[in-house]
Amino acid sequence: METQTTVVSYTARRTLSTTPVRCLNVENINPYVKAAKYAVRGELAVKAEEYRVRLANGDKSLPFDSVIFANIGNPQQLDQKPITFFRQVLSLLENPLLLENKEVLRTSFGYQPDVIERAEQLLGEVQSVGAYSHSQGAPLIRDSVAKFIQDRDGFAADRHSIFLTGGASSGVNTLLNVICNGPNAGVLVPIPQYPLYTATLSLLNAKCVPYYLEEHKAWGTDVAAMHKSVQEAKAAGIDIRAIVVINPGNPTGASLSPEDIKSVIDIAAEENLVVIADEVYQTNVFIGEFTSFKKRLRELQHQVPVKYDNVELVSLHSVSKGMVGECGHRGGYFELVGFDPAVAAEIYKFISIMLCPPVIGQCLVELMVNPPKNGEPSFELYQKEYNGIRDGLQKRAFALYEAFQRMEGVECQEPQGAMYLFPTITLPPKAVEAAAAENRVADEFYCLRLLDATGVCVVPGSGFGQKENTLHFRTTFLAPGTDWVERIVKFHSEFMAQYK
């Protein structure tokens, strides 16, 4: 009875009071949080998840029997299998007691001796994945990253310039927080771009300075466009401090040539900008070879003394993409090149506030950069799994590209890399009018109709930025099979017929 009286009294007080009960409401929170937009997990993704739950609960009323989340590069959500060597080592790190039964691990569960050896080596370094590490990341793991970079590029790397991170996104957040020093700070961002950059700049109340990529040149860089963006931003009083490059590209899938990379470095040298090279898709290259920004910078510094000596470069990599696909483990790194040691010390202080990146993610970074080698017991299976994932991605990329070739009003650049295609769509005027009647951008209207009809979730180009009077959408090619591709083709034909 006493409890009931208390509840009634509390309810009565709430009813009679005119004072807001909560401190926070949508009008008094940080306005820069409200202003930030992140299209890949926006309205379409929310609706797709609602459809997935309905199907899981037995709903038979939908015109499709599965949801395809082609909106985000989340490989293992779309049935990409983990690399056995990686997961076996991680299992021992999570449960070291298993190492007390090495013979059982080998004979009953197929753990090769190099799996056990690597787990023991990593445990000797971190002691426990449940313990904090050095804020910058475990030294042995940073040594492995430095060796990987040196082997890749042919130029020296130093663990003291390498910072392990909770995925590349965490590194981007750190760097932009340090670089952006006020509301007039600006960062050159490629358009179309991955919305992490515009969203983070919005949170920091800093300026995004767009530079447009050239679709008809396989989404390459346009030096004249970059110079124009710089001059216009300066005229508007913006202090441009950095330039972002995503290579291979997201959402475009483009892979930059060494000459394109040089053009970006030239802009940085001339305008005194930090280069932020997002290179998380560096193993996802279908045409040509990946060239890192660090390799190209070091080559230029050797070829042209003085001009490039003071270029500041930070490059990022991650376990989330490539053939690893371990997004949920949140592992990555960035390397500082040419930074003032005092600035590097401030970056270290910033990351120290968050204590350290996830230790299990750090260990996965070590496995990514130092996989089994030819002649080691796990190499054959590792190579088979790695090549199988790579070949499957390439096959699906071209299957999707060929499907787009069959669709009226759709144009798409040939797949070069990453995990995405970013086709142009030309919609009938009646479809554009129908979108306007719903107060929607036309490509968003199209993508919503696609989801409702097929269960395939893609992202409208307007979520990444695009040239005026153009429409696009971004889709991954991670989902297995081709059934979902044919769903898109069928929907598109019916959509175009409906609005002619």
- pLDDT tens readout for residues 252-277: 878 888 998 999 999 999 999 999 99
Q: How far is CA 454 from CA 55, 89, 421, 439, 486, in A?
A: 13, 39, 19, 23, 10
Confidence of residue 88 (pLDDT cuts 50, 70, 90): very high
| Angle formed at CA 426 by CA 425 and CA 429, multiple of 5 degrees | 140
CATH number of 126-369: 3.40.640.10
What would the mean pLDDT of 70-80 be, rounded to a whole number? 74
For residue 29, pLDDT over 80 is answered with no
User: Measuring CA to CA, which residue among 93, 64, 106, 89 is closest to residue 382?
Assistant: 89
CA atoms of 429 and 414, how far apart (whole Å): 27
What would the mean pLDDT of 414-442 be, rounded to a whole number? 88
Is residue 213 within 8 A of residue 219, CB to CB? The reply is yes
CA atoms of 366 and 349, how far apart (whole Å): 23
Question: In terms of pLDDT, which residue wins out, 462 or 179?
Answer: 179
Confidence of residue 413 (pLDDT cuts 50, 70, 90): confident
For residue 216, pLDDT over 80 is answered with no
Q: SS3 of 417, please?
A: strand
For residue 285, pLDDT over 50 is answered with yes
CA atoms of 189 and 211, how far apart (whole Å): 6
Q: SS3 of 240, please?
A: strand
Question: What number of other Cβ atoms are within 10 A of residue 313's Cβ?
Answer: 22
What would the mean pLDDT of 202-217 be, rounded to a whole number? 86
Confidence of residue 294 (pLDDT cuts 50, 70, 90): very high
What would the mean pLDDT of 469-485 be, rounded to a whole number? 82
Confidence of residue 24 (pLDDT cuts 50, 70, 90): confident
Instruction: Give the pair of three-digit tokens for residue 199.
Output: 């969203």
Q: Which of 39-43, 191-195, 414-418 has the lowest mean pLDDT?
A: 39-43
Question: Average per-residue pLDDT in the chain?
Answer: 87
For residue 17, pLDDT over 60 is answered with no
pLDDT of 20: 57
- What are the boundaries of each domain within the chain? 31-67+384-499, 126-369
Q: Which CATH number fits domain 31-67+384-499: 3.20.20.20, 3.40.50.300, 3.90.1150.10, 3.30.750.200?
A: 3.90.1150.10
Distance linking the first and last C-alpha atoms of the chain: 69
pLDDT of 5: 47
258-271 vs 223-235: helix crossing angle, rounded to 10? 20
What would the mean pLDDT of 412-435 be, rounded to a whole number? 87
% of the chain beyond a pLDDT of 90: 48
pLDDT of 371: 96
For residue 3, pLDDT over 50 is answered with no
